Amino acid sequence: MAGSGTTLVECKLLERRAVGVDINPDAVMVARNRLDFSYASLDVDYVTPEIKTYVGDARSLDLIEPESIDLIAMHPPYASIIPYSHDREGDLSSVHNIAEFAAEMRNVAQECMRVLKPGKHCAVLIGDTRRNKHFVPITPRVLMGFLEAGFILREDIIKLQWKMKSTREKWFGKKYDFYLIGHEHLYVFRKPEAGERMTKFKESMKWW
Ligand SMILES: C[S@@+](CC[C@H](N)C(=O)[O-])C[C@H]1O[C@@H](n2cnc3c(N)ncnc32)[C@H](O)[C@@H]1O
């Protein structure tokens, strides 16, 4: 879910090796183009890191070995609020039904669990939406999907949104009496270490 590559550009600047995956070949092409710059770091020891990109599905990261990744930074679609393609097979931004979207994100969570090294972190930026003038919670369902997959919740960081607008590009809040959603959640999950005693974390884990 690397999109047009913001995180990958940061990886290049921070000298981190990275692999970016997105289901949309157009997004991967844009990301490759954005990564095509030379960087004169002030750090004399800076060595341009290897940044790989490929067209793939976050539910099945077929080119990534088990327990090979140190950190996952993921920015999924918020169900169908912004369609990133026209019904491309596997594109989760075309899943309108929130329960179905949550089930697919649970598959993504399981795949993250597979590729991440034990003890390492997975950060997921995700937001909620409105339908029919009511709040539709997406974030708690995604949170539960990651806990279901066996992750421990390390942080829930609130990212404030600026310049919000409704999907119709116009805020009818005064007329209809509702708030624009002004925040997103950046969940940071930790994969348990092998054989780690989990009892003391049980309130940050799957509780149901
Ligand atoms: C919110 S955008 C990411 C934006 C990104 N932060 C950027 O800098 O452009 C969500 C991305 O998820 C991708 N996506 C949707 N379903 C996917 C899937 N099953 N596997 C991988 N990527 C997927 C979309 O193509 C879209 O680029």
| Interval 54-105: pLDDT, tens | 999 999 999 999 999 999 999 999 998 988 988 789 999 999 999 999 999 9
Cβ–ligand 1 contact at 57 (below 6 Å): yes
- Return the pLDDT at 161: 83
- Return the pLDDT at 18: 98
Q: Which atom of ligand 1 is nearest to the CA of 90?
A: 19
Cβ–ligand 1 contact at 22 (below 6 Å): yes
Q: What whole-number distance in Å separates Cα of residue 182 and Cα of residue 173?
A: 13
Cβ–ligand 1 contact at 80 (below 6 Å): no
Collect the ranges in the chain with pLDDT lower than 50.
Answer: 169
- Return the pLDDT at 168: 54
The pTM assigned to this predicted structure is: 0.94
**Ligand 1 geometric centre to CA of 58 (Å):** 9
- Return the pLDDT at 180: 82
Q: What whole-number distance in Å separates Cα of residue 154 and Cα of residue 48?
A: 31
CB 124 within 8 A of CB 142: yes
Q: What whole-number distance in Å separates Cα of residue 155 and Cα of residue 146?
A: 13
**Which residue type occupies 20?**
G
**Ligand 1 geometric centre to CA of 112 (Å):** 15
Q: What whole-number distance in Å separates Cα of residue 153 and Cα of residue 122?
A: 10
Nearest to 122 by CA among 75, 65, 72: 72
**Which of 35, 62, 84, 108 to probe ligand 1 with, by most ligand atoms within 8 A of CB?**
84
**φ/ψ (deg, to 5) at 188:** -115, 115
So where are the chain's domains? 1-56, 58-204
For the segment(s) 58-204, the CATH number from 1.20.210.10, 3.40.50.150, 3.10.129.10, 3.40.50.360 is: 3.40.50.150
Instruction: Give how far Cα 85 sits from Cα of 81, 107, 121, 167, Å.
Output: 12, 21, 29, 16
